């Protein structure tokens, strides 16, 4: 309702402005016609004190004594009676309220992207080409690690898990990682590793175990720990 009331007031002021302008323009036209039809002595210079619309000097009259230029209360040099009203701050506030305004979204702080140089790079190790062979007296593991030196390779032996882990790190190559399970016959205490021509050779000797002979006894008789029959 308040918005409709403001619209009504604004429209009423606009209509009043149009009507006032029309009325004063008609009065101005009629005054011009009267000044042009009357003689210069009767209409323009009859009074000692010049009126706002009378000729103020002889330079303003033409050859036939008519006013060629005059001033009106709201003509070229005059002021409109409602000029101060429509230029008042209150009326300008009405115009500002009814002008379309562009809505701007609030500026929010957005997180700045982190430079790529400061982000830690995670390189996943690759599995190198390898072979695992079983021979009569040993197991042989061959791993291809070209470009790696002995100081850049690490061979870890885990007795509980019976596994051998080979790791290699190099600044110019991707890291390598390999884990191999050693069979039960492998002797983890005698492992030997050699690097030659980019190939790491790991040798695991086999454990030689002799079989035990078990004596078979008769029914009802047990055998002792030494394998002899207990009477």
CATH number at residue 197: 2.60.40.790
Domain of 158, in residue numbers: 130-205
pTM: 0.41
Q: Are residues 94 and 140 in the same domain?
A: no
Are 168 and 178 within 8 A, CB to CB? no
Q: Are residues 12 and 92 in the same domain?
A: yes
Long-range Cβ pairs for the range 160-167 (8 Å, 24+): 162/186, 162/188, 164/191, 164/202, 164/204, 166/128, 166/200, 166/202, 167/125
Nearest to 74 by CA among 57, 103, 53, 54: 53
Residue 159 domain flag: yes
Residue 163 domain flag: yes
Q: Are residues 137 and 93 in the same domain?
A: no
Are 168 and 175 within 8 A, CB to CB? yes
pLDDT of residue 13: 82
pLDDT of residue 76: 47
Residue 43 domain flag: yes
Q: Are residues 35 and 76 in the same domain?
A: yes
Q: Are residues 49 and 136 in the same domain?
A: no
Number of H helices, E strands in the chain: 3, 7
Q: Are residues 198 and 137 in the same domain?
A: yes
Residue 42 domain flag: yes
For the record, the structure tokens of 222 come out as 């047990």
pLDDT of residue 52: 47
Residue 230 domain flag: no
pLDDT of residue 179: 94
Tens-digit pLDDT profile for residues 148-200? 999 999 999 998 889 999 999 988 889 999 999 999 888 988 999 999 999 99
Residue 112 domain flag: no
Residue 20 domain flag: yes
How far is it, in rounded angstroms, from Cα 59 to Cα 76? 17
Q: Are residues 79 and 22 in the same domain?
A: yes
Q: Are residues 194 and 145 in the same domain?
A: yes
Residue with tokens 């002995």: 150
The tally of domains found in the chain comes to 2
Alpha carbons within 13 angstroms on the beta-carbon side of residue 106 total 2
Q: Are residues 92 and 138 in the same domain?
A: no
List, for the chain, all residue ranges whose pLDDT scores fall below the cut of 70: 1, 30-31, 33-111, 113-120, 220-231
Q: Are residues 88 and 19 in the same domain?
A: yes
Give CA torsion, residues 114, 118, 122, 123, to 10 deg.
120
């Amino acid at each position: 309702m308040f918005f409709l009331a403001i619209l009504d007031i604004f429209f009423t002021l606009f209509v009043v402005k149009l009507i006032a302008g029309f009325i004063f323009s008609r009065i101005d036209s009629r005054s011009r016609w009267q000044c042009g039809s009357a003689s210069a002595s009767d209409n323009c210079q009859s009074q000692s004190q010049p009126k706002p619309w009378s000729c103020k000097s002889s330079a303003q009259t033409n050859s036939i004594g008519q006013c060629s230029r005059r001033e009106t209360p709201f003509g070229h040099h005059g002021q409109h009676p409602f000029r101060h009203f429509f230029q008042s701050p209150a009326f300008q506030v009405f115009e500002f309220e009814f002008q379309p305004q562009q809505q701007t979204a609030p500026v929010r702080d957005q997180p700045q992207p982190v430079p790529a140089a400061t982000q830690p790079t995670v390189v996943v190790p690759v599995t190198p080409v390898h072979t695992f062979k079983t021979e009569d007296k040993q197991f042989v593991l061959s791993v291809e690690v070209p470009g790696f030196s002995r100081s850049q390779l690490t061979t870890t032996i885990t007795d509980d898990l019976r596994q051998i882990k080979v790791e290699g790190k190099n600044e110019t190559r991707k890291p390598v990682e390999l884990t191999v399970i050693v069979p039960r016959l492998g002797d983890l205490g005698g492992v030997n590793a050699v690097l030659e021509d980019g190939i790491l050779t790991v040798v695991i000797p086999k454990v030689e175990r002799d079989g035990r002979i078990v004596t078979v006894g008769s029914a009802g008789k047990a055998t002792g720990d030494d394998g002899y029959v207990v009477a």
